[in-house]
Amino acid sequence: MKSLDSQLAHYFGFNEFRQGQFETISTLLAQRSALAIFPTGSGKSLCYQLSALLLPHLTLVVSPLIALMHDQLHFLQSKGVAAASLDSTLNADESRDVMAKVQKGEIKILMVSVERFKNERFRQFLAGLKISMLVVDEAHCISEWGHNFRPDYLKLPQYREQLAIPLVLLLTATATKKVKLDMAKRFAIEPTDIIQTGFYRQNLALSVLPVLEYAKNTVLIEQIRQQRGAGIVYVTLQKTAMEVAQLLQSANVNAVAYHAGLDDEVRGHILRDFMANKIDVVVATIAFGMGVDKANIRFVIHYDLPKSIENYSQEIGRAGRDGQSSQCITLANLDGINVVENFVYGDTPEPDSIAKLIELLKTTTIQGVWELQDNPLASETNIRLLPLKTLLVQLELKGVITAKYSYFADFKYKLLVEKQQLLNQFDPERQAFLVMILSYTQFKKVWGTLDFVQLLNEPNIERERVVNALDYLHQQQLIELETKKITHVYQVNQQALADPNLVNELIRYFNEKEQAEIKRIAALVRFFQLDKCLSANLARYFDDQQAPAQCNTCSVCLGSVATLAYSSHPELPNDDILIRYLHELKQLCKSKVNQPLSDKSYARFLAGITTPLFTRLKVRQLAGFASCESIRFADLVQKVSTLQLNEF
């Protein structure tokens, strides 16, 4: 076999490995799983890309962002590597073509989102493949202690086991020591197979500028005029992105806004123009994130406080990937703390909501099986989708429920050939099976809906065979198949469910998680006010003990220690106004759902924090919604508790 250096040159045209790449690839080729922690832009992706070409079968890559997938696909395809993705941008024909090529062994690297594993058709597709390696990009999402924790990622060890994938590679740029060890433990990666190259980047100059709110726009324009080349301005809210972009445009800066509220096509167009140097400055929420792999970003400015030190490090990590000097500037005050904190408080379920979910679990379990659909359950329990998923994962970890499978409740299809022509392609036994499926399909003009419930009452009819048959007909272009309303099926452990401490344990978990997130925000504020080198402290936060004690380029090293302050001290409306606002909310809830509200719910309303119940009741139309959004949430809860709302 050729040496790794010659393979690197052959496939990718590079003369030498970057730090950590050789060690990671060698570990994988020795059939040991690995965790690679490299700084942003230092070549993590090459570790799986070259390994995949040297392993015998398919490499499956789980990536959190479509933009990130497409960027890596473009690079791989430019090198002649057979790689593809299955994502929501593909139409039915394109998805079918990718799957056919994978089955034929024509694709070496397949990229997917973690959510795709919920698709029963996709999991059945994977079960028929030989897979050499599972790669998890942005792997800190696996850890409950990571800043971008996504509960669905906790299922990946289980999927890996079910699919008997021998190797795993975890990739991330941002992992504290606690997160690092947590990730490795979940995939049984040996400590000796954790490859960490260091976090410190000497070309990034970190600056914290204390700026009161009234002066922020002026300082922003001044800072941008001092910069050369492309840059990103990060903000917290979508409306701020629009306002700041307009401000910069009026100052003759070639700037555009980018946020999750824009159409996919518009966002894609902005990203392409930025990459092609047609746009100088993107004013962005964190939606403009991990997919941005532009080497010559000369500056990143935080107009608002980031959500955490981890978010900050990821966002500044997009600057200076070409190794050239780049500026990372934070326009800092304490005004935005409540906005960042409100994201946390909004994702903490109310105790009554948790109790309601457990009661629903008890009353809707049939013969030890519980079926649910995410959106209806979120609406019924008044728990946002992300914390709902987190809660379900916690129930799994406690052994209360065990995920069995997911399926689509709605199967619709239309025939692309005449019925008899379709049947004639199969032997009599398969014909009879397909006739059974057709007989339980209610056609309206062109499209038909399969009545799965009635079909499965027939003897010797198994759901898996029906799904495989429909999928096969779809692949053969004999039908066009659409699936909707994904339903998750869990096995329920009645003994664990009956634990009288269960609800309180879940409430305690979410409260602890909430407080941990609030402490994370406090740590960020402390970091910005440090009196010692910012770069050195940032590196040590991520367990890099090799960084120099002084960078000589950050604002602290240059003699400027930041002290952050509030621009003003917002005041609450008087009690009579607050009581009027909350009385309107109470009357609306009473008339529509007859549901009492807690002090925290009233505080959420005043702070402008949405919940499924508030969305359903359209409370944004009430005068009091978000009327106190500049007040910190804890202060609002305390105030509401003094108003004696039960008396009005």
Work out the average pLDDT over 441-456.
88
Residue 56 and residue 190 in one domain:
yes
Residue 44 and residue 190 in one domain:
yes
| C-beta atoms surrounding 100 within 10 Å | 12
Q: Which of 200-204, 513-517, 529-533 has the highest mean pLDDT?
A: 529-533
CATH of the domain at 306: 3.40.50.300
pLDDT for 225-260, tens place per residue?
A: 999 899 999 998 899 999 999 999 999 999 999 998
Q: How far is CA 341 from CA 247, 371, 528, 629, 635, in A?
A: 26, 34, 17, 11, 12
* Domain annotation covers residue 277: yes
**Length of the chain in terms of residues written:** 648
Cα distance between residue 373 and residue 551, in whole Å: 52
Contact between 288 and 282 (Cβ < 8 Å): yes
pLDDT for 69-126, tens place per residue?
A: 877 888 888 888 999 998 877 777 788 899 999 999 999 999 998 878 866 678 889 9
Contact between 407 and 120 (Cβ < 8 Å): yes
Residue 280 and residue 383 in one domain:
no
pLDDT for 553-586, tens place per residue?
A: 999 999 999 999 999 888 899 999 999 999 999 9
Residue 47 and residue 26 in one domain:
yes
Structure tokens, 425: 């392609």
- Which has the higher per-residue pLDDT, 641 or 65? 641
* Domain annotation covers residue 474: yes
Residue 225 and residue 328 in one domain:
yes
* Domain annotation covers residue 528: no
Contact between 588 and 622 (Cβ < 8 Å): yes
Q: Which of 302-311, 357-366, 457-466, 583-592 has the highest mean pLDDT?
A: 357-366
pLDDT at 646 over 60: no
Which domain, by its residues, includes 132?
4-196
Q: How far is CA 325 from CA 204, 280, 551, in A?
A: 6, 17, 13
* Domain annotation covers residue 546: no
Residue 209 and residue 192 in one domain:
no
Contact between 281 and 255 (Cβ < 8 Å): yes
Q: How far is CA 543 from CA 323, 437, 521, in A?
A: 22, 58, 19
Percentages helix, strand, coil for the chain (3-state, rounded to 5) are 50, 15, 35
Last residue within a domain, chosen from 169, 196, 223: 196
Between strands 441-444 and 447-450, the pairing is antiparallel
Query: What residues have CB less than 8 Å from 634, skipping those under 6 apart?
Result: none
Residue 98 and residue 221 in one domain:
no
Q: Which residue has 């709302």 as its token pair?
A: 645
Residue 20 and residue 62 in one domain:
yes
Residue 186 and residue 208 in one domain:
no
pLDDT for 460-480, tens place per residue?
A: 888 878 888 998 898 888 999
Cα distance between residue 148 and residue 117, in whole Å: 19
Q: Which residues pair with 134 in a beta bridge?
A: 60, 168
pLDDT for 581-615, tens place per residue?
A: 999 999 999 888 877 888 999 999 999 999 999 99
Q: How buried is residue 7: exposed, middle or buried, by Cβ count under 10 Å (0-12/13-18/19+)?
A: middle
pLDDT band at 145 (very low <50, low <70, confident <90, very high): low
Structure tokens, 509: 């978990």
Written as one string, the DSSP assignment of 349-408 is: --HHHHHHHHHHHHHH-BTTEEEE-HHHHHHHHT--HHHHHHHHHHHHHTTSEEEEEEEE
Tell me the residue ranges of DSSP E strands in 71-203: 83-85, 109-112, 131-136, 167-172, 194-196
Structure tokens, 501: 């401490």
Cα distance between residue 273 and residue 181, in whole Å: 40
H or E element: which one contains 297? strand 297-302
Written as one string, the DSSP assignment of 513-548 is: HHHHHHHHHHHHHHHHT-SS-HHHHHHHHTT---S-
* Domain annotation covers residue 113: yes
The predicted pLDDT at position 65 comes to 74
* Domain annotation covers residue 551: no
- Please tell me the total count of domains within the chain: 4
- Which has the higher per-residue pLDDT, 506 or 199? 506
Torsion, Cα 107 113 119 122, to 10 degrees, reads: 10
Residue 14 and residue 160 in one domain:
yes
Cα four-point dihedral sign 405, 409, 410, 416: positive
pLDDT for 163-172, tens place per residue?
A: 999 999 999 8
Cα distance between residue 300 and residue 227, in whole Å: 10
- Which has the higher per-residue pLDDT, 151 or 401? 401
pTM score over 0.85: no
pLDDT at 459 over 60: yes
SS3 105: coil
Work out the average pLDDT over 346-355.
92
∠ at Cα 330 (267, 519), nearest 5°? 95
Residue 10 and residue 135 in one domain:
yes
* Domain annotation covers residue 625: yes
Q: Which residues pair with 205 in a beta bridge?
A: 327
pLDDT for 205-222, tens place per residue?
A: 999 999 999 999 999 999
* Domain annotation covers residue 259: yes
The predicted pLDDT at position 648 comes to 46
Chain centre distance of CA 52: 25
Residue 225 and residue 108 in one domain:
no
∠ at Cα 491 (488, 496), nearest 5°? 125
Cα distance between residue 464 and residue 470, in whole Å: 10
